[in-house]
């Protein structure tokens, strides 16, 4: 009897949380099109969340390009098809690796930062102070950050793809002696419009997820400094989990269009 009560209580709590998430996202879509648009704050957040991530993304993307090329070479060499390496890495990086790796890095760095920042502001009552100052804290703090991640993650994904391809080219050039012109030609021959569309679509969805999760967890943080730490940690875990689920679903949708 008691176990049934506890289960019902947990189910009620889960449904309430789901409803709160729905209201949070619905409020974002209502307020994103209503002035004032807080353009300066959006640009500042884009710089903080995007440009400052470039060093980490550059290193990670470059290493991924080299490692993936090294891992793919033996399998192709068994069939005497190492000349296909540029096409293989271009398809793998653009279709899957670039947006996924960028989103995971964004989850670790950006979602946690947003969660901790907004959580700290909630605990120290800075958000309440904004309301007293006749400033809409949701628009100023939440809308700007979600827009920044939604805009910057696609741009960073293309940058990750570029850096990864450079790493792959260096590895292929050293081992197979492939020229840069030949490499670029094979890369673009293997990439279709649907591949470019998929990296844009995935990146936009991933970017929105990172911003929304970080903002939701931070904006509704409580219980002092403990709540701030929980908001930062939960933002990373939930964002990464959702990104993997979205990757699976979007991959199925895009592959369905490839068959058509």
Predicted TM-score (pTM) of the model is 0.90
- The Cβ of residue 127 has, within 10 Å, a number of other Cβ atoms equal to 20
Q: Look over the chain and give the mean of its residue pLDDT values, rounded to a whole number.
A: 86
> Are 68 and 92 a contacting pair, CB within 8 Å?
yes
Tokens of 175: 């081992």
What digits encode the pLDDT tens for the residues 135-161? 788 888 899 999 999 999 999 999 999
What lies within 8 Å, CB to CB, of 150 at 6+ separation is 204, 207, 208, 211
pLDDT at position 145: 93
Cα separation, 46 vs 236, in Å, equals: 19
Q: Is the pLDDT of residue 84 over 70?
A: yes
pLDDT above 70: percentage of residues in the chain: 96
The per-residue pLDDT for 240 is 92
d(CA 251, CA 260): 15
pLDDT at 3: 63
Residue 2 has pLDDT above 70, yes or no: no
Higher pLDDT residue, 148 or 49? 148
Instruction: State the pLDDT confidence band at 188, using cuts at 50, 70 and 90.
Output: confident
pLDDT at residue 223 is higher than 70? no
Rg over alpha carbons for the chain, rounded to the nearest Å, is: 22
Task: Provide the pLDDT for residue 73.
Answer: 85
pLDDT in tens, 104-132: 998 888 888 888 888 888 888 788 787 77
In the predicted structure, residue 1 carries a pLDDT above the cut 70: no
Nearest 5°: phi and psi at 94? -75, -40
245 pLDDT above the threshold of 60: yes
How do residues 53-68 score in pLDDT, each as one tens digit?
A: 889 999 999 999 999 8
């Amino acid at each position: 009897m008691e176990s049934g009560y506890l289960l019902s209580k947990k189910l009620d709590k889960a449904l309430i949380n789901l409803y709160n998430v729905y209201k949070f996202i619905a409020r974002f879509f209502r307020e994103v099109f209503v002035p004032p648009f807080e353009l300066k704050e959006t640009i500042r957040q884009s710089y903080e969340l995007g440009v400052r991530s470039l060093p980490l993304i550059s290193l990670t993307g470059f290493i991924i390009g080299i490692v993936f090329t090294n891992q793919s070479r033996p399998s192709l060499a068994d069939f005497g098809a190492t000349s296909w390496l540029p096409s293989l890495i271009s398809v793998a990086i653009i279709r899957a690796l670039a947006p996924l790796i960028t989103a995971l890095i964004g989850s670790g760095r950006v979602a946690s930062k947003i969660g901790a920042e907004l959580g700290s502001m909630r605990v120290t009552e800075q958000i309440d102070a904004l309301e007293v100052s006749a400033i809409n804290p949701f628009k100023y703090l939440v809308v700007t950050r979600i827009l920044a991640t939604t805009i910057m993650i696609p741009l960073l994904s293309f940058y990750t793809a570029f850096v990864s391809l450079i790493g792959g080219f260096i590895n292929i050039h050293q081992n197979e002696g492939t020229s840069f012109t030949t490499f670029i030609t094979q890369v673009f021959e293997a990439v279709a419009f649907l591949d470019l569309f998929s990296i844009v679509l995935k990146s936009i969805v991933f970017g929105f997820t990172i911003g929304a999760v970080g903002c939701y967890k931070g904006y509704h943080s409580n219980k002092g400094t403990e709540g701030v730490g929980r908001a930062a940690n939960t933002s990373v875990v939930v964002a990464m989990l959702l990104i993997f689920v979205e990757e699976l679903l979007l991959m199925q949708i895009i592959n369905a269009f490839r068959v058509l």
